[in-house]
Amino acid sequence: VVRVQRKIAVVGTGYVGLTTGACLAAIGHHVVCADIDAGKVSRLRAGQVDILEPGLAELVRRGLDAGRLEFVVGAPAAIHTDTEVLFLCVPTPMGADGSADLRAVESVLREVGDLLPEDCAVATKSTVPVGTADRLSRMVNAPIVANPEFLREGSAVDDFLHPDRIVVGSSDRPAARRVGALYEPLQAPTLILDAASAEMVKYAANCFLAVKLSYVNAIAQLCDRVGADVVAVTEGMGYDPRIGRSFLKPGPGWGGSCLPKDANALVHVAESVGLEFPLLRSAIEQNARQQADVLDRVRQACDGTIRGARIGLLGLAFKAGTNDLRDSPAVRIADALVAEGAEVTAHDPAISGELSGIRLVDDPYEAVKGAVVVIVLTEWPEFRTLDWTRVAELMDGFTVLDTRNLLDGDPLTRAGLTWRGMGRPV
Ligand code: UGA
């Protein structure tokens, strides 16, 4: 039951901003979303969503039809005299020194600072370093509320509508409560905190996940060398509720638009206050080693030299269910192979177009044709059911390197292929 309908402005229509806007409209609020990209705004007005996010396009269209969701060009156009909360959802990319680049956030605030009605709260959704709320407070005469999101790409709508928790933090507690109240229909535990703690929750959570994955990737490498099976090992670990079953899958390294950026930023935050964070640093280093390990395996399968070898890649997105290539381990590996002189052909069910140095094809069988090695880099379920006999006929070599432990090895072996997982016994 929706008790209040609030007037909300959302600036930035990337996957966080658009999900936030469409979902807030779906739970009854009136939302105006702004973006500087006029082409994108007109596509959104027509109900066209560029990003692949299950359920999002439908929510956008429903919001438009219900008159609760609008799209405008430029942040100032989103602010009205009755706007109650402004959400900042613009990118905070990693700057040259690893710190988060806040220029987009600050430039929006400069644009709208004088337009904000009294009592309008500014909520930061973009992941911003601890202390940002205070810093922004000095720029505008409005309460700043840190309201980190915990959305995973590929399940952002579902995560938004069924949150584990809502975190809001501000030195202005009533403003934090007003922002928290927007989510009341979702009936999630709501933490009203100070701004620094709210900002810290996000980094601490994402970096914990990064450390967990680096740990599991290192365990997988160890399993390989001692002849243990990482699938069995992580199952055995996961029964312990203190560890949990999720986020224990080894892979080609962790990537995406969040984990690498946040891990680097938190190391930077720590250094800026005179603290080393060797644990997190080594999680980042381990992630690079994971990629080097994949390349070593490819080299072995190519009899020592990658130069001139034809290599087929299955998957390029940083994880299945998205078409996002940002900081994708698959792309890093593809680039490294190209740099070593390989001829790389890739197929990803969600990606088409041009990629420099790589031949991108629409058909998985085209990607494996003539390949000495095939590497599975994204865990798309459709790769499981490929016709491996056909793959074997098309390939020039035998090795299928399954960096996601996605495939069932038996059909590959029957087809005469050599299947290699990560941390799986041969
Ligand atoms: C991550 C967090 O999971 C979200 O909670 C957070 O809100 C989001 O960042 C954010 O800061 O916005 P996301 O980047 O969408 O979400 O992707 P994840 O599902 O966390 O995957 C991150 C990386 O870890 C991917 O490269 C994925 O392939 C890898 N991964 C994940 C594994 O290698 N093994 C696993 O078991 C899980």
- Which CATH number fits the domain that encloses residue 242? 3.40.50.720
**Start-to-end CA span in the chain (Å):** 55
Separation of CA 117 and ligand 1 centre (Å): 37
Q: Which of 291, 283, 290 is nearest to 210 (CA)?
A: 283
| Mean pLDDT across 1-8 | 68
In a domain, 407, yes or no: yes
Residues 111 and 171 in one domain: yes
Q: Please give the pLDDT value at position 275.
A: 96
Whole-angstrom distance, CA of residue 245 vs CA of residue 331: 28
Question: How do residues 87-109 score in pLDDT, each as one tens digit?
Answer: 999 988 878 887 788 999 999 99
> Can you read off the two tokens belonging to residue 130?
């601890």
Q: 203: Cβ below 6 Å to ligand 1?
A: no
Residue 3 pLDDT exceeds 60:
no
Helix pair angle (278-301, 259-272), 10° resolution: 140
Boundary (domain end) residue, out of 169, 193, 217: 193
Residues of the binding site:
35, 40, 92, 127, 150-153, 202, 247-251, 255, 261, 319, 326
Q: Give yes or no: residues 178 and 234 share one domain.
A: no
Q: Residue 211 falls within a domain, yes or no?
A: no
Residue 1's pLDDT is: 41
Q: Is residue 358 part of a domain?
A: yes
From CA 259, how far away is CA 324, in angstroms rounded? 14
Closest residue by Cα to atom 37, ligand 1, is: 247
Give me the residues paired with residue 312 across strands: 345, 374
- Indicate if 158 and 269 belong to the same structural domain: no
Nearest-CA residue for ligand 1 atom 18 is: 152
Cβ pair 308, 373 in contact under 8 A: no
Q: Is the CB of 149 under 6 A from ligand 1?
A: yes
88 and 181 share a domain? Answer: yes
pLDDT by residue (tens digit) across 108-130? 999 999 999 999 999 999 888 88
Same domain, 237 and 156: no
Angle of helix 259-272 relative to helix 195-226, nearest 10 degrees, comes to: 120
For residue 94, the model assigns a pLDDT of 79
Q: How many domains does one find in the chain?
A: 2
Q: Coil, helix or strand for 314? A: strand
> What single letter denotes the amino acid at residue 313?
L
CB 367 within 8 A of CB 345: yes
Which tens digit of pLDDT belongs to each residue from 180-238?
999 999 999 999 999 999 999 999 999 999 999 999 999 999 999 999 999 999 999 99
Distance CA 342, CA 309 (A): 5
User: 394: which residues sit within 8 A by CB, 6+ positions away?
Assistant: 365, 368, 369, 370, 371
Are 72 and 134 part of one and the same domain? yes
**Same structural domain, 186 and 326:** no
Q: What is the pLDDT of residues 343-368, one digit of tens each?
A: 999 999 999 988 889 999 999 999 99
Confidence tier at 4 by pLDDT (50, 70, 90): low
Closest Cα to atom 9, ligand 1: which residue?
258
**pLDDT tens profile 69-86:** 999 999 999 999 999 999
Look at residue 151 and tell me if it is in a domain: yes
Whether 402 is covered by a domain: the verdict is yes
Extract the tokens encoding 134: 């205070």
Q: Is 219 within a domain?
A: no
> In this structure, are 235 and 372 located in the same domain?
yes
Domain end (from 166, 193, 220): 193
Cα dist from 58 to 19, 52, 163, 388, whole Å: 11, 12, 20, 36
pLDDT per position as a tens digit, 282-333: 999 999 999 999 999 999 999 888 999 999 999 999 999 999 999 999 999 9
Please compute the mean of the pLDDT values over residues 363-375 and round it to a whole number.
98
pLDDT, position 5: 76
**Cβ of residue 199 lying under 6 Å from some atom of ligand 1:** no
411 and 318 belong to one structural domain? yes
pLDDT of res. 356: 87
Same domain for 242 and 168 = no
What range defines the domain where residue 22 resides?
Answer: 7-193
Query: Does residue 314 sit in the same domain as residue 391?
Result: yes
Mean pLDDT of the chain: 95
Residue-level pLDDT at 95: 81
| Separation CA 216–CA 222 (nearest Å) | 10
* CA nearest to 342, candidates 369, 305, 370, 316: 305
Same domain, 48 and 156: yes
Residue 257 lies in a domain: yes
* Residue range 242-250: mean pLDDT, rounded: 97
